[in-house]
Every structure is written in structure tokens, then in C-alpha cells.
Structure 1
């Protein structure tokens, strides 16, 4: 087996290129969220229909991530990253052009198609982490992996205010055109600085498993995202959701019997890997529910509820979240060095819990929403920057990309479910201030589940065996 540890110093521009790759693709993928009301007006569609400008990207990211992750172990890694960035750039251009076609079914279909292409960029994080693992060692490797993990969250948080301001000044087309410029620049830098992996054979892709997993996730996510429109007890919602769960069971059985599985499920539940996977799914749900409901609070102007602010303010309210995500990453490194890694996930979940309770109980002023986003951002940096760092020492080098990709899939599934579930819960509790408060207090329970689960699973994890080449001199 060929060693994956570096024998020469990596180029100085490599880490900035990887950071730009993960942050820009996250920013571009987040272009749909603050623009949903604007999309509904510009394309003359219902608000629930306009929501597909966000859902399409999340679906594409969830479907493409496990497939793309299989390429991370071989020489197809570099061309896969370059092609992925090319697809993202094409998607931004298609979306920008659709804004010039006026309000029509064809224009909206082009927008959704472009957003789906942009969602492919969400699958590139595992490949970037695999590159960092191959070319960096010791403490530099750990810091790079933590930084790459948190840039996806910080990039998405930054995408909200950037999108809102650009769309306010130049319209929808300008927002997507800016995404095209940024992803195009990232593509050029990646072409120049990303190393290849020519000595390792590409991994085989279980295409049958990919189709089964894609169909299962698509059915479940469609049921979740459209359940409020179709009715949660309707035959269509229950039938589609049931079919998706059945397909997921079939996929699990297929995967466990496959000689070359798309995702090694036995590896996913291994001690040291199970806790990050659990937290990825639960934290994704809780994070997107928190972000969705704070935007609802800021934009809504109803008697007794809502702050009634503009889309720009709704975007800017997430700036503290984005900035604190980066600071939370640095705090996580400090805590890990002083107290050990077992405190990382419980601490991050506790910060998210505080943010959720804070917003649920105190939401009459903009500064209170900003404080909740500050707490949530710190929890985000703590939690998401820690997932890959905790997993990688327990993974075979050849399975890093696939295992991290599966962790990403769980996170994206959580994102989509959290976005839909938060609004559904608020409506189920009667809407308004009471529904808003009750929804957040209910969602706070997921952080208790995540934190307790992380502690219990961590106790079963044996200390990782470190390769001497990974230890700093």
C-alpha cells in the first residue's frame, strides 16, 4: 500500500485554495435561502414552489456526495474536483440567465436546474479533506481539517447577507452572476494548485447502491419538503415517505452484502466514528431549524409577533453566526489541546442548546436575535469543525473520503428536514409568537439527544492508533 503521508512540503497556496473551494461552494449553495420570497415574486410562483430554489441544491448535494466521495481515494480525485467546480460555475450561469427570461414556467425550471447543479459543490468537502490528509501531517493536518470543516458553515452563513445585499442592489441575476465569478476563480486556483494522486487506483463505485440511496433520499426529502402543501396525513405524503424508507431499508441490505459498497456502514458505526455521525444528523436538523426560524422572525410583521425587517436585515442577522463559526473553530482547538477531544461535541451541542432556548424565550428585539445567532455560531464552529477531526484518526486512509462523505450526507439530510420541520412545527403549534416559542422549545430537545448521545458513544470509542508519520516532531 502506498503511503499517503507527504514526502515534500506542500505548496503555500494549497491550503488557501482548499479553504476557498469549501467556502465558495458553501456560499453558492446557500444562494437560495434568503431569496425565496424574491424568487416567488420574480417568477410569479407560490412561496412553497419557490422554496425549491433552495431544496434543489440540498437534494443535489445529498445525492451526489456519497458518489463523489468514492473518488477521493484515487487518481480521479483532482479531475473530480475540477469537474465539480465546473458544474457549479455552469449552474450559477444558468440561474443568472433564467432571471432574464421573465416570469414563466420555463424560466423557473431553468432556475431550479441551475440550483441543482450548484448543489453538486456541496459534495466537494470530503475530497478537500482527503487532499489535506494526504499532503499534510501532524498538527498542521488536524488544523487544516478543522478549518475546512467549519468553512462550509461560515461560507453558508456569509452567503445569506452577501446574497441579500447583492440581490437588493442588482436583482436575482446579479446574485447568481457573483456566484459564477467566485466559483470560476476557485476553479482556476484549483487547476493551478491541487495535487494529483496518480499512484493510487480509483475506487469502484457501487452504482446500483447509488441509485437506491438517491431514490430513497429523494422520496423522503420530497415528502418532508412538500408535506405542508400536500398535507402531512395525505396519501401522497405518507406513500412517498413510506416508499423512501422502504428503499432505504433495501439499500442498507444491499450495502451490507456488497463487496464494494458506496458507504461502509460497518465503518460508520465504528467506535470513534458513530458519535460524529449521530451529531452530524441531529446538529444539521437543529442548525437549519434555528436559521430558518430566525429569518421567519425577522421578516414577519404580524400583530404581536415578528420584527418586520427587510431581506437585507434578515441576511445581516446571520453575520454574527458566520463570524462566530470561525471563532468557535479556534476555541475548539484550544479546548481540545487543554481538556481533550471528548469535550468538543458536548460543548458544541450545549452552545446550540443555549442559542435555541434564548431565541425561543427572548425574541422581541433585534439584538436578542443577534445574541442567539452569536451563541449558535459559536456552537456551530465547535460542532462542525470537530466532526472530521474526531473521525479521521479512526479511519483507514483509503476510506477517508467515503466516510466523511457519508457524514456530510447525514448533515445535508438534517439541513433539509430541519428547514421543513421548523416551519411545520410552528404551524402545528398555532403560529404566531406562541407557535414560534413552542417550536423552538421542542427543537431544543434535539441538542440534548445529540449531546448525551455523543457522550455515551464516546465512552465506547478506543483511543485511535496514530501513525508515527502523523505526529508532529
Structure 2
């Protein structure tokens, strides 16, 4: 900890943990509420799905910009402003259902606008980790960074059944009012306990780089998210991929020309930073593919008798062991990482998630098998995502922490979208219109392949060093 920083209060670390956990809970306000939103607002499931898509897109676009801009003295105001936007978004979303009395379209539009504002929460976790690195003494950085990384996963897992229960009891508005109370509490604690930073040189944020990266991220993620509705070869999908690819190429070209780019691609995929970044992309894809397929298995009940046929509330409870074991996995990974290199812990986490995938592919006739798979997946996810920021922080200079962590987060978001879309696509290609066991096993086999690839990348990176 440098002497120039204001000393942290005793509640500094709990505040950061609440900040990342609240981020996960706010993000969970999307998926479990989609059917309820469709019913309350009188819109189709496809239209209601935009309340989830809009938040992810907003977060993916905002995260790298926030990570680059929020350096030094700018970090505290950016974090506070981001939380204020999230509070405003939850209030807007909570008020939206009441507008259905005038127009369903108006109500849905206001709700989507609120979800866009809530998407800013997704960019706050990297800033919390960067603050921990700047303020805490060296011996505390690793454990706190691991806890913050897993806090987002645990918050989403615990928030899923919690928000579904609140919505079941009080409707969509009640779920978003719950989110408002949580983010207001987070804002109050952050205002009090996030220390102000000393002045430091401010990296330049070039408008051209920001616009190109935003367009590329938005177009690619939107195209991927709509593949399950439009298809992979629909002209709209291909058009978005083309726009995203061209914008990405332009951004890479600009990035490699400047000495202080928005994201340093030269170091992001070279040296010690390459393994955590590539793993974030692959692990994000594998994690969301597995979770998506599990939700299909638990809820579907086909005429052939395949599927567990459980209600959405039970499906949400599947994530409770996942979240709890994620926390345990992060603690175990820290204990093991203190005795061996953290880089050697990373393939162990991936292997645990691979084991959960194989186990569920082989046995999926009972709820207890799904719960066992989620417990194993939680151990693997907690170990993997707790190790990533520790490795990344060691690989980048202190001044690049927030930018590097934000880029790693964006890679996770891309992985989330790709994994979910690919899992549903493989399931549909093999099964046909109605999901069946053959399609499920094939999709799980693809997921297992993703985790094998992640393990191979990490092991090769370790051997190269």
C-alpha cells in the first residue's frame, strides 16, 4: 500500500465484496424474470428476452471504457456514478409494469431502458479489484482479489432463486425494488468507505478507439445472442457479424498503432497475461453452456419422458449449491495456490468443471444428479475464476490493472454469449424442434471439449514459461 493513498477503513474490504456481490444479484434480475415479464406486460417471450440481452450488451460496451477511464483519482467518482446509474435503472424497471395500463410497448421500452442502466453494474467488479490492488498491502491482495472475482458468480447464483421468489410473491416490480434497496445500500457504503486516490497521470481515451470497440462488441454480441431466434445464417445475423468483424479489425489496427491504447493487445495475449485471458474466454463459454443446458434439462418434460419437468423455482435453486461451492472452491484454490504456483491451480479448476460436465452427460435421470453436477461445477468455477485475477494482476503494471481486468471481464461476457448460443444450437441441431436426450448428450460433449481445450491452453502456457 502506498503512503499517498488514504488509509482504508475497517469496512473497505466488505464494501468491495458487497459491490461485486450486488453486481451479480442485479445481473440475475434478468434471466429468471423473463417469463414473468412476458406475462405481466402482455408481450412475447422473445420481446421480454431483450430485458436480459440489453443489460449484457450495455455492460459489455461500458466495461472496457470504465476500466480505462477510472484510473487513480477518477476511480471513486466513476464507481459512484456507475452505482447511481444502477439505482436509477432499478427504479425505472420497478416503475415500468405500472405503465402497462397505457401501453405494453411503453412499459417494455421503459423496462429495457432500466435494464440498460443496470448493465453499468457489470463494469464495477474490475474497478473494485483495481482498488483492492492499489490500497491493500501485498499479502492481502491475492485473497481479496479471489473473493471479489467469485463474489460476482456467487451473487448471480444466489440472486437467481431469490429474485425469482420475490417476483413470484410480489411481481416484477417487487423484484426490481429489491434490487433498488440492495444497490442503495451498496452506494451508501461505497460513498463512505471507498478511499479517494491521489492525483496521477490520466491515460488518454481516444474517441475513435472507444467507438470502434463499442460497435464491434455490440454487433458481435447482439448477433450471437440472436442466433437462437434468427439462426446462424440469417442475413441479419451475418450482417451484424460483418459489421462487428470490420469494426473489430479497425479497432485492432488503431490499437497496435498507439503506445497507450485503450487495451494493450500486445501484452493481453502474450506472456503471462495470455493464459488468464484465453482461459476467461473459454471458461466463460463452458460455464454458460453448462448452465444453459442444465436449465433445459431441469425444466423440460418431453412426450418421450426425457427431462426432469421441474418448475422454474426449482431450476433457480439448482444454482444455490453452485454458488456455495464456488465460494468454497475459491478458498481451496487460495490454500493450494499458497503452496504451489497459482498457474498450476488453474487447470485443476477447469478439470473439476470438466468432471461435472462428464458426470451430467452420463447420468441425468434424477434431480440429485443435477445437484451433484452443480456442486462440482461450483468448485471448478470458484477455483478457476478466483485464480484468473490473481494471475492477471501479477502480469500487468499497477497502472494497467483496471483496464486489464475490464478486458478480461469482456472476454468472459463474450464467452457467456457464445457458450449459451452454441449449447442451444447443438441441442437443436441434434434433437430437432423438441429437445431430447441425444441432443443433450451431444451438447454436453461439445461443452466437455471446450474445457479440454481450456486445460490444454493453460498447461501449454505453464510449460512455455
> Are positions 1:447 and 2:451 aligned together?
yes
Task: Write the deviation string for residues 239-283 of structure 1: whole angstroms up to 9, x where unpaired.
Answer: 221221121111111111124311011120231110000010111
- 8 Å contact from structure 1 (residues 34, 314) kept in 2: no
Tell me the secondary structure at the aligned position of residue 339 of structure 2: helix
Using a 3 Å threshold, how does the CA distance of structure 1 residues 378 and 57 change in structure 2: closer, same or farther?
same
1:465 equivalent in structure 2 = none
Using a 3 Å threshold, how does the CA distance of structure 1 residues 74 and 310 change in structure 2: closer, same or farther?
same
> Are positions 1:169 and 2:169 aligned together?
yes
Structure 1 residue ranges, 4+ long, deviating more than 6 angstroms after superposition:
5-8
1:437 equivalent in structure 2 = 441
Task: Write the deviation string for residues 150-200 of structure 1: whole angstroms up to 9, x where unpaired.
Answer: 111111111111111111111111111100100011000000011111321
* TM-score where L is the length of structure 1: 0.94
> Are positions 1:363 and 2:364 aligned together?
yes
2:110 equivalent in structure 1 = 110
Taking the aligned partners of 2:3 and 2:235, their CA distance within structure 1 comes to 54
TM superposition shift of 1:9: 5.1
168-177 or 234-243, larger mean C-alpha shift = 234-243
40-49 or 379-388, larger mean C-alpha shift = 40-49
- 8 Å contact from structure 1 (residues 6, 136) kept in 2: no
Using a 3 Å threshold, how does the CA distance of structure 1 residues 261 and 7 change in structure 2: closer, same or farther?
closer
Taking the aligned partners of 1:121 and 1:222, their CA distance within structure 2 comes to 19
Aligned ranges for residues 282-301 of structure 1 at < 5 Å?
282-301=282-301
Aligned ranges for residues 387-402 of structure 1 at < 5 Å?
387-402=388-403
TM superposition shift of 1:203: 2.5
Using a 3 Å threshold, how does the CA distance of structure 1 residues 148 and 453 change in structure 2: closer, same or farther?
same
Taking the aligned partners of 1:305 and 1:207, their CA distance within structure 2 comes to 52
Task: Write the deviation string for residues 23-78 of structure 1: whole angstroms up to 9, x where unpaired.
Answer: 10121012111122222222233323322221111111110010000133221100
Taking the aligned partners of 1:294 and 1:4, their CA distance within structure 2 comes to 46
Taking the aligned partners of 1:133 and 1:109, their CA distance within structure 2 comes to 39
TM superposition shift of 1:328: 0.4
Taking the aligned partners of 1:269 and 1:259, their CA distance within structure 2 comes to 16
Q: Report the number of matched residues.
A: 459
Taking the aligned partners of 2:39 and 2:306, their CA distance within structure 1 comes to 24
Gaps of 5+ in 2: none
Gaps of 5+ in 1: 462-473
Taking the aligned partners of 1:403 and 1:324, their CA distance within structure 2 comes to 27
Using a 3 Å threshold, how does the CA distance of structure 1 residues 167 and 410 change in structure 2: closer, same or farther?
same
184-193 or 50-59, larger mean C-alpha shift = 50-59
Taking the aligned partners of 2:241 and 2:318, their CA distance within structure 1 comes to 34
1:240 equivalent in structure 2 = 240
1:140 equivalent in structure 2 = 140
2:20 equivalent in structure 1 = 22
Taking the aligned partners of 1:45 and 1:440, their CA distance within structure 2 comes to 32
1:384 equivalent in structure 2 = 385
1:343 equivalent in structure 2 = 344
2:182 equivalent in structure 1 = 182
Task: Write the deviation string for residues 323-343 of structure 1: whole angstroms up to 9, x where unpaired.
Answer: 001000001011112232232
* TM-score where L is the length of structure 2: 0.95
- 8 Å contact from structure 2 (residues 284, 414) kept in 1: yes
Which of these residues, 96, 99, 108, is aligned with residue 101 of structure 1?
99
Taking the aligned partners of 1:118 and 1:82, their CA distance within structure 2 comes to 13
1:467 equivalent in structure 2 = none
TM superposition shift of 1:421: 2.0
Using a 3 Å threshold, how does the CA distance of structure 1 residues 236 and 382 change in structure 2: closer, same or farther?
same
Taking the aligned partners of 1:456 and 1:155, their CA distance within structure 2 comes to 32
Taking the aligned partners of 2:205 and 2:285, their CA distance within structure 1 comes to 28
257-266 or 179-188, larger mean C-alpha shift = 257-266
TM superposition shift of 1:294: 1.4
Q: RMSD of the TM alignment (CA)?
A: 1.5
